[in-house]
Structure 1
Amino acid sequence: MNWSLDSYKNYKALQQPNYENKEELENVINELKSYPPLIFAMEANELKNELAAVCKGDAFLLQGGDCAESFNDFSANNIRDMFKLFLQMALVLQFGGSKKVVKIARMAGQFAKPRSSDFENKDGISLPSYRGDIINDCEFCESARVPKAKKMLKAYMQSSATLNLLRAFSVGGLADLAQVHKWNLGFVRRADIDDKYALLTQRLTEALDFFKACGITSLNDARLHETKIYTSHEALLLPYEEALTRIDSLSGAYYDCSAHMLWIGERTRGLDDAHVHFLSGVKNPIGVKIGPNASASDILALADKLNPQDEAGRLNIIIRMGASKIKNLENIFKELSKEQRNIIYSIDPMHGNTQSVNGYKTRKFDDILDEVKNFWHIARANNIIPGGVHFEMTGQNVTECLGGSVGVSESDLARRYETQCDPRLNADQALELAFLIAELMKQK
């Protein structure tokens, strides 16, 4: 394959910022190349093995996190609350679906965002669009919207700190199943969600008591005490990804060491474009977002390019069509079921369901749930394994998505609308969806 670390520069690269100071950009990239990797090849291979089980239907993928991480909102408490939400959702899915849950966070690198337009207009003023904190600033003024290469260095440092804390939480006792009652977040949930979760934790406690009677406790079995949360982000800003791609000393293969898993967005998945070319040369697990205008042949061509060896656990096709267009998936899955490829199919029910209400970008809980359900039924009807879900969510009690049992209304949007980009499920809504998906997993 005609691939090298910088061969992507010979291809069309969409959604890239135009850095005015080229010398500064080169200096930043060289500095990043001298930094330690954020993840190691062995960890990416471990994730690939776990995703191979998802591909076979023996495990389930839970992927989620902020739409875009923020430099300003970075804090240990926010990382902790997202970690707790992951633990709660995984517990619901694993206990309800009787499958191991592979947890991949949109964290420690999800700083760049693709935009539908290069410019944003407000009050008769047109400025370059905000593209995430790794590129420019959200404030609507000319100086803030200028891309600054040095922001990549801060993104690296924040990603490193986030990963350190996630690893500490994973092995330091917070994930101990015996401490499940301490996973609750710091706000009052609706009674019906609390009751469901309390019943689940009671059943888990009874099971742990049985294990304890057999001599198995979290003190002598790490599986009851520790967990693993992998990291992921959209590999959008190619100079950053290039700078953090390294050769594994054991295999001689390239790994993008900015995250365990990288994905390509719907806007940048052109078969002969730079993003697909770049990720075709690294050995991490790869995701690709697929929108309503895709065909089965598009997916097969991407599989040929990104996973030519048909390796289980390598390729995750992330469907994102919207509740009104998910029916388009019927013909796609009908064709793909004939191929029997080693591909994970998961559903992102967020990005196709965005709408504007009272000047706020939002999503309706019912639309999100409908897309999940229809994805599930279409997959099952065509002998495709519904392998996982991909949510934009937060461990905070925000009011950005409408509906759910918490009853977020249009008038509530202004109360705690805190996202810098896209609306996120709050912790109650995310946990409610986990219970509903667990019911789908039980269906035969």
Structure 2
Amino acid sequence: MPEQLSAPDAGSTPPWDTWRDREALQQPTYPDADAVTDVTSTLRRQPPLVFAGEVDDLRAWMGAAGRGEAFVLTGGDCAETFAEATADHLRLKIQTLLQMAVVLTYGASLPVVKIGRIAGQYAKPRSQNMETRDGVTLPSYRGDAVNSFEFTADARTPDPKRLLDLYHHASSTLNLIRAFTKGGYADLRLVHHWNRGFTQNPAYSKYESLAAEIHRAVKFMEAAGADFEAMREVDLFSSHEALLLEYESAMTRIDSRTGEPYDTSGHFLWVGERTRDLESAHIELLARVRNPIGVKLGPTTSVSQMLGLMEKLNPDGEEGRLTFITRMGADKIRDALPPLLQAAASDGRPVTWTTDPMHGNTITSSTGYKTRRFETIMNEVRGFFEAHEQVGTVPGGIHVELTGDDVTEVIGGSEKLDDESLADRYETLVDPRLNHQQSLEMAFQVAELLR
């Protein structure tokens, strides 16, 4: 039977909606409950954005990464915006991920699992529910899936119709991803050519020797008659933080093959540091779907909390099911991570470990911008690898906020962006991202750690 994914019958309560009995943090306060019901009813009738077979494939790849047989690269915007859901912006993001993946593949001598923070990352948790400017207090901007960035009462009022906009933008984005990754744009020879151009910049000449090694490997493959036609296509999976529970619930479908629920809003879904409490609504919902799941772990995470998450989200120890995404901070990771690694190893149930070196290293520049320092980000990445080496466990991947554009949001790196440079092209609406060049520089540095 061909794969079919179906929504529950109208009027019935989906078995995954037990989350409604739990505390749901970081949710919008919609002024009209009936409008929310109308929107979610419409969403349940829409086609799935991803399919169960694709989700199963990614779960198998995540299991391989947990065993040290693959390496995961997750990257994309801090918060996608509807305005930037264009072919040009998406092409540059995909190009950046593909370029990074080629370098990491060579460095690790392993397949690289490519996952975009793409086609769903339209909402963000916020520290404060309200924002005050010049004596005016309005709801905080929570991402385009909730409200608008403009500081007016109408713009900042949460609107459930934006969930439909989220769906349609995600759908068109996934169509573009499939066109780019299956239509020859991902050809290994083309991507390698882009990387050769990167190292010709004098600022990045120190990576020329590794680029030359990759070049010789590609030439050898050509001479040996490698099937480059088979390398013209890649799989690029989609991921986002499963923050908006009404949307995630409405996008969950039953697979006709197995009778099991899949959240069809994306292939890989994660729970953030603010919403990962064991009894939270977010953990309850994701415990009931078949997608591979990630959980962000900060420096205060206790061994008992981590083991509780393993028991809740992966009680049977299925490979590839659970990924822990560490975001400790460069000054804390070497102390905070090893006890968690040791406890997970002693438990025995498989976990895939990746590092998010961005969120624990946010600072304010002397010019007032929210930023991060490239060297500090890389320090956390090195700490992640060192912790795994210390314990004897597998560093399974990296998870970074990046863009394919030449923005100026993160200081440092070989081009030495400073505080004054931030004003040149500071475009993010939430958190600062690595630009195209900084992303590639990270890939070359991580490749050296993987060798």
- In the other structure, the counterpart of 1:117 is 128
How far the C-alpha of 1:203 sits from its partner, in A, is 4.2
What root-mean-square deviation, in Å, do the aligned CA atoms of Structure 1 and Structure 2 show? 1.9
Within a 5 Å distance, the mapping from 1:44-443 to structure 2 comes to: 44-181=55-192, 183=194, 190-193=201-204, 196=207, 202-219=212-229, 222=230, 224-326=231-333, 327-357=335-365, 358-442=367-451
122-131 vs 156-165, which moves further: 122-131
Superimposed CA distance per residue, residues 146-192 of structure 1 (whole angstroms, 9 cap, x where no aligned partner): 00000111111111111111111111001111223554699998424
- Secondary structure of the residue aligned to 2:113 is strand
- Structure 1 residue 99: deviation in Å? 1.2
Report the Cα distance in structure 1 between the residues aligned to 2:449 and 2:192, rounded to whole angstroms: 25
Alignment counterpart, residue 43 of structure 1, candidates 46, 54, 57:
54
Amino acid at match of 1:69: E
Give ranges in structure 1 of 5+ residues lacking alignment: none
| 1:233-264 Cα shifts (integer Å, max 9, x gaps) | 00000000011100001111000000000000
Matched residues, number = 437
* CA distance in 1: counterparts of 2:223 and 2:158, whole angstroms: 60
- Once the two structures are TM-superposed, the CA of residue 299 in structure 1 deviates from its matched residue by 1.0
Residue 355 of structure 1: SS of its match in structure 2? strand
Which deviates more, 172-181 or 258-267? Answer: 172-181
Whichever residue aligns with residue 47 of structure 1, its letter is L
- Counterpart of 1:216, as a letter, is A
Corresponding position of 1:21: 32
TM-score where L is the length of structure 2? 0.93
Structure 1 residues 237, 373: closer, same or farther in 2, change over 3 A?
A: same
1:183-210 C-alpha deviation (Å, 9 max, x unpaired): 469999842436736x555544544444
Secondary structure class of the residue paired with 1:381: helix
Q: Which residue of 1 aligns with 2:8?
A: none
Query: What displacement does 1:120 show?
Result: 1.3
Q: 1:43: how far off?
A: 0.2
Structure 2 vs 1, CA of residues 381 and 3 (structure 1 numbering), >3 Å: closer, same or farther? farther
Q: Residue type of the partner of 1:422?
A: D
Distance 2:291 2:128 in 1: 30
Distance 1:189 1:245, change over 3 A: farther
Give, in whole Å, the separation in 2 of the partners of 1:316 and 1:328: 17
Deviations 1:261-288 (A, max 9, x none): 0000000001011000000000000000
**Do the aligned residues in 1 keep the contact of 2:317 with 2:349 (CA within 8 Å)?**
yes
1:218 aligned partner, one-letter code: F
Deviation sequence 1:12-60 (CA, Å, 0-9, x none): 0000001111111111101111110000000000001111110101111
Structure 1 range deviating more: 332-341 or 397-406 = 332-341
Q: Deviations over 1:284-329 (max 9, x none)?
A: 0000001111012111110110011101101000001111222222
- In 1, the alpha carbon distance for the partners of 2:181 and 2:201 equals 28
The answer to whether the 8 Å contact 1:44/1:260 transfers is yes
Contact 1:187 1:397 in 2 (8 A): no
Of 320-329 and 255-264, deviating more is 320-329
The answer to whether the 8 Å contact 2:195/2:211 transfers is: no
SS at structure 2 position matched to 1:121 = strand
**Partner Cα separation in structure 2 for residue 205 and residue 170 of structure 1:** 22
CA distance in 1: counterparts of 2:300 and 2:233, whole angstroms: 42
Q: Which amino acid aligns with 1:32?
A: L
TM-score, normalised to structure 1, is 0.94
Contact residue 292 and residue 325 of structure 1 kept, 8 A: yes
Tell me how far 1:336 sits from its aligned partner.
Answer: 2.8
Percentage identity across paired residues of the two chains: 47
The 3-state SS of whatever aligns with 1:193 is: helix
Q: Bigger shift: 305-314 or 173-182?
A: 173-182
Question: Which amino acid in structure 1 is aligned with residue 257 of structure 2?
Answer: L
User: C-alpha separation between the residues in 1 aligned to 2:219 and 2:328?
Assistant: 44
Gaps of 5+ in 2: 1-12
